[in-house]
Structure 1
Amino acid sequence: MITGVMLFAVEAAAEEAGGLFDLDATLPLMAVQFALLAIILNAVFYKPLGNAIDERDGYVRSTTADAEERLAKAEKLAQEYEQALAAARREAKQIVEDAQAEAQAIGDQTMASAQQEAQVQREATQKDLDAQKQSAMAALEQQVDALSQQILSKLLGAAA
């Protein structure tokens, strides 16, 4: 029985005369099957995948463009705010300098008026002191005169 199967296989091999590159209907049939498989794979897998990739690419591009636009706006706003802040700082500095100058002027004026008032009070006090000195000197002169008169009268009264 094994020899019968071997004999059949040898006979079948002998009937195939073409060998390795026999060109019969198998090759075009395989080419048609390959083309059909490529068309089916393209329709089922590759096209939806390509569409998804294209949509994603479009989304990424639009998002990137939108982000760049927002970044440009943000940078412009930041620059405007920095300029406004610099102007506000200059204005604040000028206000502080003006206030300091005004305070200095008021202080100088107050100091001058205080010195003038002190001078007036000093002069008034000096006049009062001079008046008191004059009155004290007058009182002392009267007392000296009275004492001189008493001394004279005692001396003359004792001598007479």
Structure 2
Amino acid sequence: MIPQWTLLLAAVAEVAEVAEKGKLFDFDATLPLMAIQFVILVGALNILFYKPLGKVLDDRDEYIRGGLGDAKARLAEAETLTKKYEAELAGTRRESQAVIATAKAEAQKIAAGQIAEIQQTAQVQREQAQAEIDKQKQSAFTALEPQVEALSRQILTKLLGAELVK
């Protein structure tokens, strides 16, 4: 039989050979060459891709900020105009309410004056009608008085006789 320690040495030697084949980097002349290639790639990407992309992003950011600033200015101006127009509208409403109140007061004065005039006219007509009625009543009494007197004499004559009534 083969001693165990020989098998162990053979396994270690095999592992060393496999590890030599699967190395990731060789620390010979290829490492600095790969580093130089990486730096050149980064520089080329920076010049060809990142700087133009960064410029486009910066321009876009500047455009957005300019638009926001302009929008804020317009919003402030719109708010100022809104407040101004609201104040003017409130003033106009107050003025219109004052005009309406004045018109109502004048209309009430005119209506009260017309009512008083109509009442006065009605009072004058009532007094004229009463005077006319009194006048007709007086003329009726005046016209009927001789007839009443004649009728009274006739009644007295019939009741008492002609000799007693004179």
Provide TM-score, normalisation by structure 2: 0.77
Q: 1:33 to 1:156 in 2, by over 3 A?
A: same
Match of 1:142 in 2: 146
Matched residue, 2:120: 116
SS of equivalent to 2:162: helix
Paired with 2:32 and 2:42, the residues of 1 have a C-alpha distance of 15
Shift of 1:22: 5.7
Residue in 2 that maps onto 1:70 = 74
Within the candidate set 75, 78, 84, 1:80 is matched to: 84
5+ long unaligned stretches in structure 1? 1-12
**Aligned letter for 1:127?**
A
Listed as ranges, the matches of 1:1-160 within 5 Å are 23-151=27-155, 155-156=161-162
Larger helix percent: 1
CA distance in 2, matches of 1:47, 1:26: 30
Question: 1:148 Cα shift?
Answer: 2.9
Structure 2 letter corresponding to 1:40: A
User: Which segment drifts farther, 137-146 or 60-69?
Assistant: 137-146
**1:27 shift after superposition:** 2.2
Structure 2 stretches of 5 or more lacking a match? 1-16
Tell me the distance in 2 between the aligned counterparts of 1:148 and 1:142: 10
Q: How far off its partner does 1:101 sit?
A: 0.4
Residue 11 of structure 2: aligned partner:
none
Q: Normalising to structure 1: TM-score of the pair?
A: 0.80
Identity %, equivalent residues: 54
Higher RCO by CA contacts (8 Å cutoff, separation 6 or greater):
2
Alpha carbons of structure 1 residues 137 and 52: separation in structure 2 relative to 1, 3 Å = same
